[in-house]
Structure 1
């Protein structure tokens, strides 16, 4: 009854059964699943979990003695702290870009360059390269308004555009530094950052190219219409679509809400390649202050706030100072963001309670004695941990911690880069309802849970498996040792 695998099974049954079978609101189903998982987890498992994460013995004991409500609230609040401001600001950016006509201006300009037939490919590879310096969720928030405007322009292919965005951004997020998962990998596995960036980019481009045919097929088999939402009514988008070019904002102004966070976040990430705390202290005062200023603006919450301010200014100018219209738009955007934040945070709480059962350590025990090649083993461990507890980053950290300690890792016949890439690809399997990213995709794009499980989840799974195949072949042909 206290085995983490059994607890995981019960948690999955409650969440999936509650949402699909009982038609519970996802927020309620996830909280109920978190409560039952927390109730079934013994205090000794919680204490061991905390110790394994580096907590002091006194802190681990204190965590094990916390009430179920406190533990759920802590994980709920932790997830909210990570994504709350981002989602709120992204919702303002999206709503403002749609209402002001900025999204329509970008779509028209994009179509002039790529043509209608290649629009999904531009979304696919554009989201991949945006996803290298910017987190998956931020890329998705920024590009969904463009997908909605593009769909009205094309009259079809909404699901294809959404899947292209998720495919590109998700693979870059796990394969290419400086996102947290790959950064941890390169430090734990002693992989040069430049090698990881090149290898991750090459594998990522192959995987997104392999995922594209599935996205096209899924779009034909299960076409998803562009639906009304609180923050983006179809009637409003259609009215914007009918505007003349001269009534839309300029292209440079339309791009500002996206470019501001992108440039600042990218600049902050690039500084890590040039300065560490020791080398920065030796620099002139002007350089130190400049770096500090860039780091301040490049913090993701600040960068998104600045992007939202630019989007809001754009909306005010386009609405000719109509305060009531602007206020109504912002209320709709924040109401939509509030629902997304609640569901995403509940998903984080559910995943956090699963982690406290010791599911990662249990999986490590089950896979420890497998006599199989290290690359597929790395992929398998990461995939199982990801599917069990929802976080791709946690899965990557868990798998790298297991594999970096193996005695034969220094005697590989190929560079450990390939192990790192296998771990990154394994973290794509299988996104479902315990993953906050699953809910972000569902709620920001207005897909139902069933539609996401049929399309988004298989898409990432296919790309992860293709990545494994490519890595095994590359390790055989180009061992790099």
Structure 2
């Protein structure tokens, strides 16, 4: 009974959730402990069956089963770092350099220039979604909340609407569109092409943030919250921010380069590989060779980071100290994320070796479409319990990654998107993002629970409905 994959799963999840919430452990420690316990509980026969299901030979399967627990965890940990380590580090550098150079602020102001102040909420919604692709959620919020306060001072209203638009756009991009850590882990763990995840995440994200916008408009009319004085952002400083000289910011073209360079390279490479026979074209085509080399996701993100650092270098009057500081702080924060993500990869790998994917496949063999809501609700359960969207995505993808090779009636991209949307439910006091939004925007805890929490929940559910409809109409297989 104790060796049943579902029982082992419950025990592993209890260790992660209990360790982070009850034991106040760092997620890295909790995930490693869970991996150890899951590996210890997994019988040798289950590991052999798992390896054989992955196409390994009988001798290789037996060798894996006889490998020590520490070595199996270390191998899975290292494999995960190899898949996402460079990508996360480069994404962290891009985000930090864009902030320090003023590139992110230029992008937001340019959007405002196009839409006008009356359409400021839509500008903030689209701007935060766009910036949330390479920049982490909390960073986007830190960047845009001063602008929201400045805009609210101009408009004399709609402060809550602006805050919710920022959170809606950044939160959905953070879970749906690479290269943020959650989507990066999903595509690596579930073998989803990065270009397909980018397009699918963008389309689903567009639907969900539209629903989020209408909810934000409704709640802003029902319970408007005024702009308030605070020690960290006095109203006098907000006014000064609104009047900041445009000459201090880089041009729009330069500001966009850290985002557009990797996006264009990856999209170009994916397009060429999809619609052209690269081998038939030969090695003499310089353009194709360029796309093949730089369009690989690691190289593309490295080029994006170089563009971001160049922008910072030019903006800071060629100051090397500015670049060094940006890289140092970015890698410090990125390194922690890499460790937690890799520990999650080890935990997920140990869960897979229990045969949990095969067990879930058996349970849902009569109706495979049930896997989509199953992926959603597993992720939502972990997110609600322990607060981290990334840990929830890591856990769910570890459980369901084997589904990508079981002959689904739809492309396994939809499973990844369902996991991403499930990670939005339900943010409350155990979520660091909840406190960032609450304290930075000067909302009370009660106000945040009535506005921010239902906003993300509604967008996640709308995403699930959208994904199920799309999987039925456009299975992509």
TM-score scaled to structure 1, two decimals? 0.71
Please, which runs of 5 or more residues in structure 2 have no aligned partner? 150-158, 179-185, 383-391, 426-430, 439-444
Alpha-carbon separation, structure 1, partners of 2:330 and 2:201: 35
Once the two structures are superposed, residues 278-300 of structure 1 have per-residue CA deviations (whole angstroms, 9 ceiling, x without a partner) of x333336532x421211111111
**Are the equivalent residues in 1 in contact too, given 2:133–2:177 (CA < 8 A)?**
no
Hey, what does 2:48 align to over in structure 1? 47
Residue among 362, 367, 371 paired with 2:364: 367
SS in 2 for 1:23: coil
The answer to whether structure 1 residue 462 and structure 2 residue 465 are counterparts is no
Once the two structures are superposed, residues 390-431 of structure 1 have per-residue CA deviations (whole angstroms, 9 ceiling, x without a partner) of 457677764465454xxxxxxxxxxx66x8786566444633
Residues 217, 424 of structure 1: CA spacing in aligned structure 2 closer, same or farther, 3 A cutoff? farther
**Are the equivalent residues in 2 in contact too, given 1:93–1:142 (CA < 8 A)?**
no
The answer to whether structure 1 residue 16 and structure 2 residue 17 are counterparts is yes
Once the two structures are superposed, residues 62-118 of structure 1 have per-residue CA deviations (whole angstroms, 9 ceiling, x without a partner) of 111111111111221122122211121122111111111111111111111234564
Alpha-carbon separation, structure 2, partners of 1:167 and 1:255: 20
Hey, what does 2:278 align to over in structure 1? 280
Residues 390, 285 of structure 1: CA spacing in aligned structure 2 closer, same or farther, 3 A cutoff? closer
Alpha-carbon separation, structure 2, partners of 1:431 and 1:89: 23
Alpha-carbon separation, structure 2, partners of 1:356 and 1:200: 29
**Are the equivalent residues in 1 in contact too, given 2:87–2:301 (CA < 8 A)?**
yes
Deviation (angstroms), 1:15: 0.9
SS in 2 for 1:368: coil
Alpha-carbon separation, structure 1, partners of 2:424 and 2:77: 18
Kindly report which structure 2 residues correspond to 1:195-344, keeping only aligned pairs within 5 A, or say none.
205-213=206-214, 243-275=244-276, 279-283=277-281, 285-287=283-285, 289-344=286-341
Moved more, 255-264 or 152-161: 152-161
Alpha-carbon separation, structure 2, partners of 1:284 and 1:401: 31
Hey, what does 1:408 align to over in structure 2? none
Alpha-carbon separation, structure 2, partners of 1:245 and 1:13: 52
Hey, what does 1:26 align to over in structure 2? 27
Kindly report which structure 2 residues correspond to 1:77-226, keeping only aligned pairs within 5 A, or say none.
77-116=78-117, 118=119, 121-122=122-123, 139-141=133-135, 145-155=139-149, 157=162, 160-168=165-173, 170=175, 205-213=206-214
Alpha-carbon separation, structure 2, partners of 1:23 and 1:213: 37
The answer to whether structure 1 residue 379 and structure 2 residue 376 are counterparts is no
Alpha-carbon separation, structure 1, partners of 2:54 and 2:403: 14
Hey, what does 1:347 align to over in structure 2? 344
SS in 2 for 1:286: coil
Residues 359, 250 of structure 1: CA spacing in aligned structure 2 closer, same or farther, 3 A cutoff? same
Alpha-carbon separation, structure 1, partners of 2:416 and 2:331: 34
Number of residue pairs the alignment of both structures matches: 420
SS in 2 for 1:249: coil
SS in 1 for 2:86: helix
Hey, what does 1:69 align to over in structure 2? 70
SS in 1 for 2:351: helix
SS in 1 for 2:253: helix
TM-score scaled to structure 2, two decimals? 0.71
Residue among 423, 431, 438 paired with 2:423: 431
Alpha-carbon separation, structure 2, partners of 1:351 and 1:307: 30
**Are the equivalent residues in 1 in contact too, given 2:44–2:66 (CA < 8 A)?**
yes
Residues 46, 200 of structure 1: CA spacing in aligned structure 2 closer, same or farther, 3 A cutoff? same
Alpha-carbon separation, structure 1, partners of 2:284 and 2:166: 44
Once the two structures are superposed, residues 344-391 of structure 1 have per-residue CA deviations (whole angstroms, 9 ceiling, x without a partner) of 21122222211111111111222335xxx664x343454467679945
Hey, what does 1:229 align to over in structure 2? none
**Are the equivalent residues in 2 in contact too, given 1:101–1:240 (CA < 8 A)?**
no
Question: How large is the RMSD of aligned CA atoms in angstroms?
Answer: 4.7
Residues 216, 73 of structure 1: CA spacing in aligned structure 2 closer, same or farther, 3 A cutoff? farther
